[in-house]
Structure 1
């Protein structure tokens, strides 16, 4: 990793402490870093695991996979797959699962990845650059209504309609958008009022990134898979960076943290709750001062309940 593309892991100690909590001084078993990124959490977990511990990581970014090859610890392995593939692990095989959502700093700060409006580069935004459709390719054919729905639903952008119309009008007049600078300039012209301290393109870039990578759908699939692979007493730790992600995590934990009664069979025993919510943590003021990108992070911790008798 080049020096100017370093990544500072958010809630490093807090996440690993929550994940390994109660596991003893030299944890054994199989642990999962479902979103390797640049490996900050994985390396810290490996420092804490005992000789019989194992760490399985997932990531669909080829650059993350390349970074993972630098870890020579025999207890570590990584899969070039999105974290919905947690479902491929054997049932009850994981002592704990960590998910650090969002985009890593090297992804944001690399112009060639197209994630940021701060740099001019190809309008790509794919987490996995080896497959799938880029944002530029999708915008080249999508209809106004489709574009508006994505920007509104995934970016919570109130000017989604005017932005979508501007994108299609530009496509019809001069050809499809190809670069991040072109999209940022177009959005700036369509957004009539700006939030203080925020670039007018922020919500649109967020929306297109989430959509093109199916991030929210994959998060839901990964959360469901975590219930199946976690052992009783295993921890689920999820770090979110925007309200759409956190809402899904919060609702998922709440849904599975209560006994469910079937109204059609009022005398039948309830379906036993599967999770216990343990904690909600935000970065300290010192961490936010040192790493402003951590300011929106929220970490939620839950524990898999004992299997019903």
Structure 2
């Protein structure tokens, strides 16, 4: 039998260059997935604390953990909890944190999870298998909220039209399977000429983000990484969606002091907090032509990275939290 080759994450070589793992260094892989980044870090001699909120990913990594000789601790947890997980293991500071945001290739390839348009499956999309599913959301939320989810998390231009059809149809036939939802969207909001993706792609993306609170989790993970990294420690984040990249970009800009000029302060205005990260120029880093040919899923990937300075960590600013939530609607009715 031919052995299946190990999964190679997007921008792996660039992530390793950003992290600069050394033998004995302690790295948190907050998104274990199929284990590709963790395996590469172990090969460099690092010790890894790997997290994944998906219990199937944790079960699938049991073999790698057994092979690691104790250098891999694999834990079922959200990466927003990476600080508390590490401290629970007696680790007060780490040399690196890597986050690969969004749905994994493994999850997309599991037909019954409902993440992919390629399969007719239950409309689930829950990474942990707990809480409200995508079908629950479409059955319970009002038309305005569904439209907001599709527009703000999926950047779907036809959000109102799709939400109106969902609410009308659910009176007699609620959407509970991926194929039915995708077929309806293709009918009421067909792809524009020249579009290569299925017209339901943005809706599926938006529902997945909402079901799993992915943007909120991303911000919690960034704040936790800032608290856990030691001075000189490295943070590397790979995103696949413009909203994710915007949050990472703004977080690192805020933490590095970019855009602030002390000479422009008003008399008595307090000084900005000291920068907590150094962010090298030339970002984001994107996949090259060879990688995108070999793996079309990598086309939208962006890597941003930074080095932790010795200033005290900060909390999440309200302006950053607002990016993870639906905007308030004036006169919104329930």
Shift of residue 268, structure 1, vs aligned partner: 6.0
Q: Pick closer, same or farther for the CA change 1:67–1:95 going to 2, 3 Å.
A: same
Please say which of residues 87-96 and 152-161 is displaced more in the overlay.
87-96
Quick one: distance in 2 between partners of 1:270 and 1:92? 27
Pick from 282, 287, 290: which aligns with 2:291? 287
Q: Give the superposition deviation at 1:240.
A: 0.5
Number of residue pairs matched by the alignment? 298
Residues 1:115 and 2:111 aligned together: no
Q: Note if 1:275 corresponds to 2:271.
A: no
Deviations 1:62-100 (A, max 9, x none): 111011111111110012111100131348511110001
How far apart are the structure 2 equivalents of 1:303 and 1:176?
48
Q: Which residue of 2 aligns with 1:182?
A: 180
> Is the 1:123–1:136 Cα contact (8 Å) retained in structure 2?
yes
Aligned with 2:301 (options 290, 297, 302)? 297
In 2, Cα distance between equivalents of 1:158 and 1:252: 27
Structure 1 residue runs of 5 or longer lacking an equivalent are: none
Superposition deviation, residue 5 in structure 1: 11
Deviation larger for 185-194 or 72-81: 185-194
Q: Is the 2:7–2:35 contact (alpha carbons within 8 Å) kept by the matching residues of 1?
A: no
1:243 maps to: 242
Deviation, 1:106, is: 2.0
Q: Superposition pairs for residues 146-157 of structure 1, below 5 Å?
A: 146-157=145-156
Give CA deviations for 1:138-186 in whole Å, capped at 9, x if unaligned. Answer: 21111111110100110001100010010111101x2211110011011
- Counterpart of 2:256 in 1: which secondary structure? coil
Equivalent of residue 57 in structure 1, options 45, 50, 57: 50
Rounded to whole Å, the distance in 2 between the matches of 1:158 and 1:93 is 44
CA RMSD of aligned residues (A): 2.3
Displacement after TM superposition at 1:253 (Å): 0.4
Partner residue, 2:230: 231
Q: TM-score, normalised by structure 1?
A: 0.90
Following the alignment from structure 1 to structure 2, what is the Cα–Cα distance between the partners of residues 57 and 77? 6
Residues 162 and 188, structure 2, Cα contact 8 Å, conserved in 1? yes
Is 2:72 the counterpart of 1:76? Answer: yes
